[in-house]
Structure 1
Amino acid sequence: MASDLLSIARSGAQAARIALDITGQNIANASTEGYVRRTANLAEVAASGGALQSGDVSLSGVRLASVVRNADPFRQSEVRRTGSDAARAQAEVDGLQNVQSAVEQANIYPSITAFEGALQQLSANPVDPSLRAATLESARTLVGTLNLASQELGSAQSGLQFQASDGVTQVNAIGQQLARTNLSLARSGDATSDRSALLDQRDKLLQQLSGYADVTTTFAADGTVGVQLGGLAGPALVTGGASATLTMTNGPTGIPSFAIGAAPVTLGGGSLAGQGQALSKLADIKTGLDSLANTVVTTVNAAQATGVALDGTPGQPLLSGNTAGTIALTTSDGSKIATAPAGSVANSRDPGNLTAMRSAIASADPAGKMDALLYDISSTVAGRTVTRDALNTIANTAKTSLDAQSGVDLDREAVNLVRYQQAFQASGKAMQVASTLFDTLLAIR
């Protein structure tokens, strides 16, 4: 009996020590990102009776049945899904704000109205050199603002493409780490702290990955995970211990496309999707800006062709190029502005052609087009910001729910410390009693 009691007490002391270790790990990692609370699952050790007593059952102590991670797969999936949506919205808003700044800070709209105002002033005295110089300077300012906007949009595009390229690099790095984690999980034993740590690492990597792209996961019985990008129909990034490579290709308009091998990937979530959406809007804005610049060039040059310069020679193009980036002023001589109709003599005060130019510009309405472009980008940013804030709220709610279920409660762990410490002390006392009984039996003569 005494030896049985020693065995039972020893098993109780071992189980209590393991439970204390697990409780200590919980307390030490209470603030660790991605850590999931562990619980020691203890079970009775039962042994059958001796010879001719196979029906008897003897309780022989306690053992650690498993280390349970208090993780809810559904809540974890919700955190990944909502976090992916929030990351997409945040990346899109960040990109669109850069586009908005590039267009607004160039001050194109004021430069257009200033050019139109200079033409109106010139019509009062078409032969005044100072008015001609002022008109040419306003044209130069307009050209400069369009060039600046184009350059800033190019910088915004390069920045977004760089961020997307870095995101692709991170996705591939996380995929490789997940594949290595899968291999370690397949080799790990059940009911071990190492396995729990590997599962924590797996879940943390999945959450990081969902920040870059929308992921679909498939979990195996051994804890390994398969990952697809771009929904259920998307290609596999991680399969067992192997990881594929995500690639990005920038199209002619700067919009990126993604693929795994030869299979295209259509991303609906994560920062990569948001950056792609921002680049798509940037391409639309750039197209609109180039169209506006081309309208200004063709309108002004067409009017120039129907008039004569101050010296009576036929009007020549004042502007060149056909995009916001290539538009340029072709002359620095104000006398080249064709204010008089064709056939007029030198130094003519007839503003007929200038009036036609102003009418053509008013009809083309570059100021109205620029105003519409500014409204388009500003309203898009405002709308996406509202969506981002809503998605952030949803993502934060999902994360809070997961933390409440799987996070460490220090009050609960303090109770466990006392409980398992008392269990350890009780097992030690039982071993002391068993030793006393055994010594007493040996002393009997």
Structure 2
Amino acid sequence: MSSNLLSIGASGARAAQVALDVTSQNIANASTAGYVRRSTELAEVAATGYFGTIKDVSLSGVRVAKVVRNADAFRQAEVRRTGSDTARASSEVDGLTNISNALEQANTYTAITTFQAALQKLKENPTDSSLRASVIESARTMVDTFQIAGQELDAVGNGLQSSVKDGISQVNTLAGELARTNLRLTRAADASSDQTALLDQRDQLLSQLSQYANLGTTFASDGSVAVTIGGTSGPSLVTGGASVPVTATFDATAGTVTFDAGGTPLSLSGGSLAGQQAALTKLAQIHGDLNTLAGDIVTTVNHAQSTGVDLAGAPGANLLTGSDTTTIALATSNGSKIATAPATAGPGSRDTANLDAMRAALATTNPAGRMDGILFDISSTVASRTVTRDALKTISDSASTSLSAEAGVDLNTEAVNLVRFQQAFQASGKVMQVATTLFDTLLNIR
């Protein structure tokens, strides 16, 4: 009896010691990113042959069945999916906000209305040199704001492209590391501390990858994972110990970007790369609209100039040059070159028929209204995407909280476990002490 008590007590002490070690590991890693709480599963130990009868069962203590990672695969997948959606929305809003700020700060709308107001003021006295100079200066300000807006939009595009390149580099680095983790998982012993640490690393790498792109995952029995990028139907990114490089191709003319994985075209719907791609597409549209508006203003003003004569009675020459935000410029700084009079008028004419025609043409082209439309387009897009981002963030936060409640370390719970397993260890020691005392007592009987 006493020998059985010794083995039972010893098994209890060993099991309690392992449980204490696991609890201590949880406490030590309470703030470690990606760490998943462990717990011990205990099982009884049974032996046959008690009292010489093999049909009888003699209970012989306890053993540690396995160390369990308290992570739910479904909740982890939800955190990756919702986090990927939030990352896409956030990066898109950031890009769109920068576009909106670039246009607002250029003050192009104000410059256009000021130019049109200067033309209207010139009608009051078409031969006044100060009024003509005012038109020239307002035209100079207008073309400058178009150039500034174009340059600022180019800067936003360069920033987005740099972010895309960095994201692609991160994806390839993380995919390579995940492939190496897969190899190590295939060699790790089942339920070993090495395997659980590798599983934590695997999940953390997947979480980081999902911030850049939406993923599809298939887990093997050994813990390794096969990953597709762009969803479950997308091209393979990681298979076993091999990863496929992801590349980005920029359209030099439009400024948009496309992706591929190992040469296979890639369509992303989640992650920061998808948001930056959407922002670049919107930037290309806004920049194109602004270029078209700048070109139309140049064409409208110069056409009106060509149908009249200037203050000296000479045929009207171009007031503006260029065809987009990059090339638009003032062709002359001489206010007397403004063709306010019709072609039949002589020098110094106060006839404003051609000026009226220019103002009417500009009213038809409607540069102020179109610029206002461009500003409204980007501002309304920012507003709607912000609402979407906030909603997605609420969903992702909820998923993260749910996963943390299961996989995260609760120090209060671990403190209780420390006391519980310590008492179990002491109790098992007491069992061994009692067994030793009984055995010694029996031996000392005379």
* TM-score over 0.5 for the pair: yes
What is the rounded CA distance, in whole Å, between the counterparts of 1:248 and 1:443 in structure 2?
85
SS of 1:268's equivalent in the other structure is: coil
Of 390-399 and 143-152, deviating more is 390-399
Q: Does 1:84 align with 2:72?
A: no
SS at 1:105 equivalent: helix
Deviation of 1:24 after TM superposition, in Å, equals 1.2
Amino acid at match of 1:374: L
CA displacement at 1:443 relative to structure 2: 4.1
CA contact (8 A) 1:27 1:408 kept: yes
Aligned to 2:217: 217
- The CA deviation at 1:10 is 1.9
One-letter code of the match for 1:16?
A: A
Query: Which residue is 2:206 aligned to?
Result: 206
| 2:277 counterpart residue number | 276
Q: Point out the more displaced range, 255-264 or 182-191.
A: 182-191
1:230 lines up with 2:230 in the alignment: yes
Q: TM (normalized to structure 1)?
A: 0.96
Answer whether contact 2:295 2:324 (CA < 8 A) is retained. yes
Q: Shift of residue 432 of structure 1?
A: 2.0
The answer to whether structure 1 residue 395 and structure 2 residue 396 are counterparts is: yes
Between the aligned partners of 2:432 and 2:321, the Cα distance in structure 1 is 98
1:421 matched residue in structure 2: 422
| Residue identity matched to 1:334 | G
Shift of 1:145: 0.4
1:26–1:413 Cα contact (<8 Å) kept = yes
Output the CA distance in 1 between the equivalents of 2:191 and 2:204: 20
Structure 1 CA distance for aligned equivalents of residues 145 and 14 of structure 2 = 77
- Measured after TM superposition, the shift of residue 334 of structure 1 is 1.3
What does 1:25-40 correspond to in 2, within 5 Å? 25-40=25-40
For residues 283-340 of structure 1, give each alpha carbon's deviation from its aligned partner in whole angstroms, at most 9, with x where no partner exists. 1111110110011000001011111122222111111111112101111111111112
- Farther-moved stretch of structure 1 (264-273 vs 246-255): 246-255
Give the Cα–Cα distance (whole angstroms) in 1 for the partners of residues 64 and 188 of structure 2: 17
CA deviation map 1:44-74 (0-9, x unaligned) = 2223338985434333322111111111111
Aligned-partner SS, 1:317: coil
Tell me if the contact between 2:42 and 2:62 (Cα under 8 Å) persists in the aligned partners: yes
CA deviations 1:156-205 (Å, max 9, x no partner) are 01111111111111111111121121112111112222222221111111
Q: Is the 8 A contact 2:150 2:326 kept in 1?
A: yes
1:414 deviates by 2.2
Task: For structure 2, list consecutive stretches of 5 or more residues without a partner in the other structure.
Answer: none
Question: Residue in 2 aligned with 1:171?
Answer: 171
Tell me if structure 1 keeps the 8 A contact 2:311–2:349: yes
CA distance in 1, matches of 2:123, 2:311: 13
Report Cα offsets for 1:268-292 as digits up to 9, x if no partner: 0011111111111111111110110
Confirm or deny that 1:316 pairs with 2:317.
yes
**Gap regions ≥5 residues in structure 1:** none
Contact 2:87 2:271 in 1 (8 A): yes
**Who is 2:23 aligned against?**
23
2:125 is matched with 125
Farther-moved stretch of structure 1 (277-286 vs 423-432):
423-432
Query: SS where residue 106 of structure 2 aligns?
Result: coil
Secondary structure of the structure 2 residue equivalent to 1:218: strand
CA contact (8 A) 1:66 1:190 kept: no
Instruction: Tell me the SS of whatever aligns to 2:327.
Output: coil
Q: CA deviation at 1:5?
A: 2.9
Match of residue 340 from structure 2: 339
Q: Are 1:248 and 2:238 matched, yes or no?
A: no
1-side partners of 2:57 and 2:264: how far apart?
61
Task: Give the 3-state SS of the residue equivalent to 1:137 in structure 2.
Answer: helix
Tell me how far apart the structure 1 counterparts of residues 371 and 194 of structure 2 sit (CA, whole Å).
61
Query: Could you list the per-position Cα deviations for residues 70-99 of structure 1 after superposition, in whole angstroms to 9, with x for gaps in the alignment?
Result: 111111111111111111111111110000
Tell me, yes or no, if the aligned pair for 1:11 and 1:61 is still in contact at 8 Å.
yes
Tell me the equivalent position of 2:432.
Answer: 431
Q: Distance in 2 between matches of 1:54 and 1:246?
A: 64
Report what 1:267 is aligned to.
268
CA contact (8 A) 1:65 1:191 kept: no
RMSD: 1.7
Aligned to 1:378: 379
Partners of 2:50 and 2:57 within 8 A in 1? no
| 1:70 aligned residue | 70
Instruction: Give the deviation of 1:242 after TM superposition.
Output: 1.2
Q: Are the counterparts in 1 of residues 26 and 37 from structure 2 also a CA contact under 8 Å? A: yes
Equivalent position of 1:352 in the other structure: 353
For the 8 Å contact 1:285–1:373, the answer to whether it is kept is yes
Partners of 1:122 and 1:53 lie apart in 2 by: 119
**Percent of residue pairs identical:** 63
The equivalent of 1:412 in structure 2 is: 413
1:138 Cα deviation (Å)?
A: 0.4
Maintained 8 Å contact 1:234/1:265: yes
Aligned to 1:46: 46
Secondary structure of the equivalent of 2:68?
strand
1-structure distance, mates of 2:233, 2:51: 61
Contact 2:50 2:58 in 1 (8 A): no
Name the CA distance, whole Å, in 2 between partners of 1:134 and 1:107. Answer: 18
| 1:393-423 deviations in Å (ceiling 9; x for gaps) | 1111111111112222233222211221111
Question: SS of the counterpart of 1:331?
Answer: coil
Write the distance in 1 (CA, Å) between the matches of 2:73 and 2:330.
64
Q: Residue type of the partner of 1:61?
A: G
Instruction: For 2:9 and 2:381, locate their aligned partners in 1 and report how far apart those are by CA, in whole Å.
Output: 70
